[in-house]
Amino acid sequence: MKINYAALIIVVFLSNLTSTFAQQPALKDTLWKGFKRLDFVVADRKCVLVSPQVDAPGKPWIWRTEFFGNEPHADSALLTRGYYLAYINMQDMYGAPVAMDLMDQFYTYLIQNYHLNKKTVLEGFSRGGLFAFNWAALHPDKVATIYGDAPVCDFKSWPGGKGRRPSSAKDWQKLLKVYGFTEEQALAYKLNPVDNLASLAKAHIPIIIVCGDADTVVPVDENAFLVEKHYKELGGEIKVIVKPGADHHPHSLKDPTPIVGFILAHYSGN
């Protein structure tokens, strides 16, 4: 059988070309709150990058780890000040190691392709707190500040329901699966944000938390207040804004000035 090497080379070339294009994220341009929004895919996950009209020096950015678009008061205010806004969909991953790997890939993609600042502001709403604090503990050199909003800081509290509130049973089972834990292993786990703040304090990462003192979903005494206590014991800088009588929702502040002011005052990128 005679092989047509020229044809074979062309087939291989086209195959490689197709494979290369298949690996590139699909891009879609729209507007979000009047700002340019780019939707694309990294590591098979849907991603969003919203660009300011004019970049602030150093191209700073805030990274919403969950619930993109929910009560985006601080996000919008920072966009007007030249910050980028980024998001990768990691739903039902609860800050597990597999999510940390996705965050690593997303971070690298943004730095290499959009040349954003090497330090980001991590923004953890509710269960997004697990992503924000866990990734910061792994990469303190890549984090400028952390903004937690009614953040989950111990999965035993939510969704586990091992404190004074009932569990979210469906979420708890999903969490055990994505971490690869038995219930006993989950209860013995020592790397929840409430336990794992030393590297953040050593890196002098300032933290701001907004929460309601009547939160019936993520009790503040098992989450935000414990982070505040432990972080101060470690010598870390933390500001907690408590909304008297407020439940888990709505998040953020109607006037985000205190949040935005804290971030602007403490952002030290490079």
Q: Is residue 106 part of a domain?
A: yes
Could you report the per-residue pLDDT of 67-108, keeping only the tens digit for each?
Answer: 998 889 999 999 999 999 999 999 999 999 999 999 999 999
Print the domain residue range for 57.
26-266
At residue 19, the pLDDT reads 36
Q: Is residue 12 part of a domain?
A: no
Q: Report whether 118 contacts 270 (CB < 8 A).
A: yes
Q: Is residue 8 part of a domain?
A: no
The total of structural domains in the chain comes to 1
Domain of 169: which CATH number?
Answer: 3.40.50.1820
**pLDDT above 60: residue 138:** yes
Q: Is residue 21 part of a domain?
A: no
Angle separating helix axes 97-114 and 128-138, nearest 10 degrees: 70
At residue 1, the pLDDT reads 43
**pLDDT above 90: residue 181:** yes
Instruction: Say which DSSP state 222 is in.
Output: G
> What mean pLDDT value characterizes the chain?
90
Q: Is residue 122 part of a domain?
A: yes
Q: Which residue has the higher pLDDT, 71 or 117?
A: 117
**pLDDT above 90: residue 257:** yes
- Residues 86/92/98/102 CA torsion (nearest 10 deg): -20
At residue 58, the pLDDT reads 95
At residue 12, the pLDDT reads 36
Q: Report whether 233 contacts 201 (CB < 8 A).
A: no
Distances (CA, A) of 183 to 85, 99, 179: 36, 20, 11
Neighbours of 66 (CB within 10 A): 24
User: Given the DSSP bridges, would you call strands 207-212 and 238-243 parallel, antiparallel or unpaired?
Assistant: parallel
pTM across the whole model: 0.88
Angle at the Cα of 107 (from 105 to 112), degrees rounded to 5?
Answer: 95
Q: Is residue 224 part of a domain?
A: yes
At residue 83, the pLDDT reads 98
Cβ-based burial of 143 (10 A; exposed 0-12, middle 13-18, buried ≥19): buried
Q: Is residue 163 part of a domain?
A: yes
Question: How many CA atoms lie less than 13 Å away from 232 in the CB half-sphere?
Answer: 9
Distances (CA, A) of 197 to 132, 136, 230: 12, 9, 8
Residue 185, token pair as written in the block:
């292993």
Q: Is residue 145 part of a domain?
A: yes
Q: Report whether 99 contacts 129 (CB < 8 A).
A: no
User: Given the DSSP bridges, would you call strands 61-64 and 120-125 parallel, antiparallel or unpaired?
Assistant: parallel
Strand order in the sheet with 45-51: 28-32, 35-42, 45-51, 84-88, 61-64, 120-125, 143-149, 207-212, 238-243
